[in-house]
Chain A
Amino acid sequence: MSHDSGRTTDGSLRNGLDPSSVVRPPSSTLKRTPLHDLHVELGARLAPFAGYEMPINFKDGVLKEHLHTRAAAGLFDVSHMGQLVVRSPSQGIRQAACALEALVPVDVLDLPRGRQRYALFTNSTGGVIDDLMIANLGEYFMLIANASRKEEDEEHLRAALIGCELDRLHDRALLALQGPKAEQVLGHFAPEVAAMDFMDVRLVSILGEGCVVSRSGYTGEDGFEISISAANAQTLARKLLDHPDVAPVGLGARDSLRLEAGLCLYGCELDASITPVEAALEWAIQKCRRQGGRREGGFPGADVILGQLASGTQRRRVGLRSKERTPVRAGSALYHDEQSQTPLGKVTSGGFGPTVNAPVAMGYVASAASNPGTTLFAEVRGKRVPVEVGTFPFVPLHYKRRK
């Protein structure tokens, strides 16, 4: 099929499904997580992602896996993500915090032990190198980075981190258990997780091993992320899956869940040319790092970012709800009306939201067009589809916050 640039289908019936036309790198060049054998056993549909062979969905399919996560508990293998440790054995945790503060527009010095915070590595123009989690484990900080950016992050840290040791954790797995039943299920193995609040991090004994557990996730639901040794990962995963409330969930549903929750995906909503302010992530920049704060600036691109906090941006990330049943997908241009030939924005992620039971999307639009309630038009297969600008998330969030 010749790709008509006006079309936004991927033509997969013609290209992707024809067995003789599929060109994949040989499986031996793809990395595998410690749970690979389990995925195969469970009948996962596997595909390359960030250099790994990952499950896109299991037997239930994306739709059911998504709905199950919001109703009960979904188990995700996210072992492909980067797990890094930053410490300063000679000068202590405060030195490590200072070193990290030089790389992120975030308060790390006052991040208490046992707490985790969302952060962004910025570059000299204020753009985002990666978004990540930083956790204070007392003697060291643990960083969880996107699989697609972990090499860049490590390079960035090695070049820029002053006076600290940086270690990439090897032979580790990362499991995410997400959904309203997650606390009950994980509580069987470690009762103390019930006392954790959203963004708490603890060393928790699970199956006799001290695991790093955070109460966080990428779905908008309550849940936990568990860093465990590769050696014990399958045992834990199998025991969790034995629980009737738990189902395995792949990357397909992980994406639809985070989209409904209004969460950014690096490479879509975030890249080196997009600032945290444009991305509507100002909430991640604590007051102390802003103009007038105790530790104002002092991170790459601070002049740009602080300038934008003061004066605004040309474009902004917004949520988009299709007014019709037509899904609007990444890459679609956004227009002011049905006739205009000059786009005022672009969709960066879009698809069908199974919980919303309607198409949902996110994108960047000119700031003037970013007010909730504004109707814009997305070009889909040569036609203009009306969409309404709105805030995110598209579904209620169920984080267990401190009261």
Chain B
Amino acid sequence: MLKFTKDHEWLRVDGDVATVGITQYAQEQLGDLVFVELPAVGKQLETGAAAAVVESVKAASDVYAPVSGEVTQVNESAVSEPGLVNSDPMGKGWLFKLKIADPAQVAGLMDEGAYQALTG
């Protein structure tokens, strides 16, 4: 299941684990990324908390936790190769995985159609 936030994050849910990244629209707007900072594994995130940072040449942008949970994995490839987030933001450019604390929070997020309407 693929969900979106109005802050241009996506999450892909598989059981109680969500993979989180930034959308195609976000990477296009941000431009070439040169630096990615990810949360520590084990960190507890609340919905809407700043979870990661992606930086272009010009500016730094926060990536927020779309739902509450514990960080279980981070994508080291995105750290060593920030360009991955530009070239494959929905796939190889994923940022971190969360163990979802409350599945009900996922239901409250936008589906793809609603997100396309927002950014279209």
Task: Name A's B-contacting residues (CB within 8 A).
Answer: 1, 7-14, 16-20, 57, 61-64, 66, 252-253, 255-256, 325-327, 329, 351-352, 354, 359, 381
Docked CA distance A253–B32 (Å): 12
Q: Choose one: B25, B57, B62, B119; the contact of A62 (CB below 8 Å).
A: B57
- Contact between B62 and A252, CB atoms less than 8 A apart: no
Docked CA distance A253–B55 (Å): 15
- Contact between A14 and B64, CB atoms less than 8 A apart: yes
A383 — nearest CB in chain B belongs to which residue?
Answer: B37
- Contact between A13 and B59, CB atoms less than 8 A apart: no
Query: Is B92's beta carbon under 8 Å from chain A?
Result: no
Residues of chain A within 8 A (CB-CB) of B8 are 13, 17-18
Docked CA distance A331–B55 (Å): 16
Tally of chain B residues near chain A (CB < 8 A): 29
Query: Is B16's beta carbon under 8 Å from chain A?
Result: no
Residues of chain A within 8 A (CB-CB) of B56 are 62, 352
A259 — nearest CB in chain B belongs to which residue?
Answer: B57
Docked CA distance A198–B62 (Å): 43
Query: Is B40's beta carbon under 8 Å from chain A?
Result: no
Given A13-B7, A13-B26, A352-B57, CB of A327 within 8 Å of CB of B118: no
Residues of chain A within 8 A (CB-CB) of B55 are 327, 352
Docked CA distance A66–B35 (Å): 17
- Contact between A61 and B32, CB atoms less than 8 A apart: yes
Query: Is B13's beta carbon under 8 Å from chain A?
Result: no
Task: Name B's A-contacting residues (CB within 8 A).
Answer: 6-9, 22, 25-26, 29-32, 34-35, 37, 50, 53-64, 118-119
- B19 shortest CB reach to chain A, Å: 17
- A252 shortest CB reach to chain B, Å: 6
- Contact between A10 and B59, CB atoms less than 8 A apart: yes
Secondary structure dominating the interface of A: loop
- Contact between B62 and A13, CB atoms less than 8 A apart: yes
- Contact between A17 and B31, CB atoms less than 8 A apart: no
Enumerate the 4 nearest inter-chain pairs by beta-carbon distance, A residue then B residue, closest first: A63-B32, A352-B34, A9-B60, A13-B61
B60 — nearest CB in chain A belongs to which residue?
Answer: A9
- A230 shortest CB reach to chain B, Å: 29
Docked CA distance A381–B38 (Å): 13
Docked CA distance A115–B53 (Å): 47
- A261 shortest CB reach to chain B, Å: 15
Q: Which one of A1, A17, A329 has the highest number of Cβ atoms from chain B below 10 Å of its Cβ?
A: A17
A20 — nearest CB in chain B belongs to which residue?
Answer: B118
- A358 shortest CB reach to chain B, Å: 9
- Contact between B61 and A326, CB atoms less than 8 A apart: no
Docked CA distance A57–B58 (Å): 11
B63 — nearest CB in chain A belongs to which residue?
Answer: A13
Q: A12-B29, A326-B35 are in contact. List 4 more A-B contacts (CB 8 A).
A: A7-B62, A63-B32, A63-B57, A64-B32
- B8 shortest CB reach to chain A, Å: 5
- A330 shortest CB reach to chain B, Å: 10
- A62 shortest CB reach to chain B, Å: 5
Given A62-B56, A326-B37, CB of A19 within 8 Å of CB of B118: yes
- Contact between A10 and B37, CB atoms less than 8 A apart: no
Residues of chain B within 8 A (CB-CB) of A61 are 31-32
Given A13-B7, A255-B58, A329-B60, CB of A63 within 8 Å of CB of B34: yes
B29 — nearest CB in chain A belongs to which residue?
Answer: A17
- B105 shortest CB reach to chain A, Å: 18
A325 — nearest CB in chain B belongs to which residue?
Answer: B35
Given A327-B55, A352-B55, CB of A62 within 8 Å of CB of B31: yes
Residues of chain B within 8 A (CB-CB) of A12 are 29-30, 59, 61
Residues of chain B within 8 A (CB-CB) of A16 are 29
Residues of chain A within 8 A (CB-CB) of B35 are 325-327, 352, 359
